[in-house]
Amino acid sequence: MLQSWNPWKIKVYFYLIATANEYDREWRGITIKRGQTIRSLRKIQDAVSYIIQYSSDTNRNRKPSISTVKRVIEDLKVKHLIDVEVVHDGMLITVNHYEYLSNVPITKMVHKNLGKVKQQNAPLHRVPKWMKDEGLI
């Protein structure tokens, strides 16, 4: 269930959904398909970090350790939410069930340009079982 996920796992998963390609494209000789993204552990770590403001002149950057990011990626792989392939510039990450996830209203809010793309609504009877089990719908 999503409630049992720690905050880093939620942030990393939504970050991967938000950065996944909307369209197939080539990048440095690698074909990146719809629902895939190339990221390194360090890039994910930096992207999910946030600033804590203690006072008007004191801020602290809070970020997960590399081992935490690695553990979250492994857990997402075990739950079959993503697939990972190592490439020369990091990891080619495939967000499983991206076609369905790109039609979920929260994902539409995350994607900046998604509103420009006409997409069909995914019927609820085709919802993957793992999404029901995780409490995502």
Q: CA-CA distance, 133 to 115, in Å (whole number)?
A: 29
Which residue matches tokens 């340009």?
Answer: 113
Helix (H, G, I), strand (E, B) or coil at 118: coil
Beta carbons within 10 angstroms of residue 101's beta carbon: 22
> What was the pLDDT predicted at 116?
44
Q: What is the pLDDT along the chain (137 residues), one digit of tens a residue?
A: 456 788 889 899 989 998 888 888 888 888 889 899 999 999 999 999 888 777 667 777 888 999 999 999 999 999 899 999 998 888 999 999 888 887 765 555 555 544 444 444 444 455 566 666 666 55
CA distance 81 to 72: 11
Is the alpha carbon torsion for 71, 2, 96, 129 positive or negative?
A: positive
Tell me how far apart the alpha carbons of residues 39 and 48 are, in angstroms, rounded to a whole number: 12
pLDDT of res. 2: 58
